[in-house]
Structure 1
Amino acid sequence: MKKQILRQLSPVFLLLACCFSAFSQGKIEHVILIGSDGFGAYAFEKAKVPNLRKLMENGSWTLQARTVLPSSSAPNWASMVMGAGPELHGYTKWGSQSPDLPARVLDEYGMFPTVYGLLRKEKPKSEIGVIYEWDGIGYLFPKKAVNKDQNCDGDIALTKAATSYIKDKKPNFLFIHLHDVDSVGHNAGHGTPEYIAAIERTDAHIGTIIKSIEEAGMMEKTVIIFSADHGGINKGHGAITMQEMQIPWIIAGPGIRKNNEIKESVMTFDTAATIAAIFRLKQPQVWIGRPVTNAFK
């Protein structure tokens, strides 16, 4: 029985050991989390996304990561940074501005524990930012835990703000939320030529953001994660089709396996657990997310 338990736990220990080693050598100082609203994994079949493809080549990835239910914005953006699903953090609707269901646990900020709060508590001098297009993101993180809180009008303005912040402040943790894809999905429809064009515009923005990381001299010490809150079908989302449920998940940077397709299950709340492991943060007991161990060397 003890041997079986050790075998089950060993991947987590290996990941933590890898992260400890990388940190002790000064290899990882920054995590940039880029999220694109409404970006279904199926879009990779048709869209030309050279910047995301390059991230995949230089890192680990899966196009079979899944959202939590419902496949809507607030429940999934919350889960991505809260390490658990709606049953625990309480954000259950597309535009939830506060928990619809009482959060199982509250932290010192009066919210369900987030990666922002954990990082602020354990590494208080960290530079932490959130730059977002959809104003609903503003309800999903503790304002007092971050240095930068900026809601932008459109992805062009957002990309400019994010690149300026990266170059000026070299944030330890930055979440960037892009929204163009979701807007086009609702207006023109998912999978349409207009939707694919929005995907390609978003890829170009991501390329600009990555270039700013290089120009800031951060690339050798930065882990980049790209994902989405949900996909979509026709002009909506929120149900259980795979077009709505499957999202891309890509990670690249020091200590990450290259050109590695992740075969194991990845859920959106695993993102928070992976970031916590990279930063050597103590994961709250209430979190159910697991570090994506297969992504690490």
Structure 2
Amino acid sequence: MLLAAISFLCYPSISCDAKGKVKAKHVILIGLDGWGSYSFSQADMPNVKKLMNEGAYTLKKRSVLPSSSAVNWASMFMGAGPEIHGYTEWGSKTPELPSRVLNQHGIFPTIFQLLRDDQPKAEIGCIYEWGGIKYVIDTLSVNYHEQAPDYQKFPKALTEMATTYIKEKQPTLFAICYDNPDHVGHGAGHDTPEYYTKLKELDVYIGQIIQAAKDAGMEKETIFIVTADHGGIKKGHGGKTMQEMETPFIISGKNIKSGICFDDISMMQYDIASTIATIFSLDQPQAWIGRSMKSVFK
């Protein structure tokens, strides 16, 4: 009778110990397009480095090939590489290869869809400067997605959109995708004074996003992730150099260990989705190949 009573109590939520507890109520992912790990030691980024020191990080996360945008943003959100999700090029809008599986929205499963299925009432958002992002996030799974105005004319627009959304909606999962420093990398070049000036500017924006979470009263229940799709070399990317392929992954906040460098652990682009799935205690699809960076959690 005692066992029956315990079973009855556990059954309605399917949780008790069957489904683990979430690590944090909120995740804010900030992606800087074209931010190579090679730049980190020289970059004047106090807000980012504070997150690094208070949390966990690696500078050895590798992009998938080719080391360019759409294929890597897709991998970041889809928990798999191009061989499986099918997005293979810089500007992929639809898969060049048939996706191995499709979800109910006709797209390869994304972290946004996994969270939506698990938490139907969750507030989920994604905003971006580069329009290619909207093709790889599964827009039917998010409450809010929007492209910022021309960031060359309105460089602060995306940050203003982000801080407003955070304060008004306290999102459960929110991805903020900047198109820089990639644009500067293509213009002035990677590893140039202009490139480092842009990183310094982006760090200010990241500080404002963190402050917005504080103002919204959600900072202590939030995990922040700062990362990139790829790096670059000279005025381009897409090749097989470490300058193009190695990007930072910094994770800090609720239930994250402090001052941990895990460069000794192999991390790939698609491991980001799996790590977020662990935060929300989500079961990842069989088609995903990502591995959660479980060592970063308390």
What's the TM-score once normalised by structure 2's chain length?
Answer: 0.91
1:150-175 Cα distance to aligned partner (Å, 9 max, x none) = 10022410000000000000000000
Distance in 1, Cα, partners of 2:199 & 2:180: 8
Distance in 2, Cα, partners of 1:175 & 1:132: 8
Pairing 1:3-42 to 2, within 5 Å after superposition:
20-21=20-21, 23=22, 28-42=24-38
| TM-align CA RMSD | 1.2
Question: Could you tell me which amino acid in structure 2 is paired with residue 173 of structure 1?
Answer: L
Counterpart of 1:210 in structure 2 is 210
Residue 65, structure 1, aligned to residue 66, structure 2 = no
Distance in 1, Cα, partners of 2:247 & 2:139: 27
Counterpart of 2:170 in structure 1 is 170
Question: Could you tell me which amino acid in structure 2 is paired with residue 69 of structure 1?
Answer: L
Counterpart of 2:90 in structure 1 is 94
Counterpart of 1:146 in structure 2 is 142
Q: How far apart are 1:144 and its partner, in Å?
A: 1.4
Secondary structure in structure 2 of the residue aligned to 1:286: coil
CA contact (8 A) 1:79 1:86 kept: yes
Secondary structure in structure 1 of the residue aligned to 2:251: strand
Residue 113, structure 1, aligned to residue 114, structure 2 = no
Residue 264, structure 1, aligned to residue 260, structure 2 = no
Secondary structure in structure 1 of the residue aligned to 2:92: coil
Distance in 2, Cα, partners of 1:216 & 1:140: 28
Pairing 1:269-280 to 2, within 5 Å after superposition:
269-280=270-281
Distance in 2, Cα, partners of 1:66 & 1:235: 19
Counterpart of 2:293 in structure 1 is 292
1:225-247 Cα distance to aligned partner (Å, 9 max, x none) = 11100000000000000000000
CA contact (8 A) 1:30 1:223 kept: yes
Distance in 2, Cα, partners of 1:40 & 1:278: 25
- Runs (4+) off by over 4 Å: none
Q: How far apart are 1:20 and its partner, in Å?
A: 3.1
Bigger proportion of residues as helix: 1
Q: How far apart are 1:78 and its partner, in Å?
A: 0.3
In structure 1, the gaps of 5 or more residues are 1-16
Q: How far apart are 1:180 and its partner, in Å?
A: 2.3
Pairing 1:213-224 to 2, within 5 Å after superposition:
213-224=213-224
Of structures 1 and 2, the larger Rg is shown by 2
Q: How many residues align?
A: 276
In structure 2, the gaps of 5 or more residues are 1-16
Secondary structure in structure 1 of the residue aligned to 2:181: helix
Residue 199, structure 1, aligned to residue 184, structure 2 = no
Counterpart of 1:47 in structure 2 is 43
Distance in 1, Cα, partners of 2:277 & 2:163: 24
Question: Could you tell me which amino acid in structure 2 is paired with residue 290 of structure 1?
Answer: R
Distance in 1, Cα, partners of 2:201 & 2:275: 28
Counterpart of 1:3 in structure 2 is none
- Aligned identity (percent) is 53
Secondary structure in structure 2 of the residue aligned to 1:131: strand
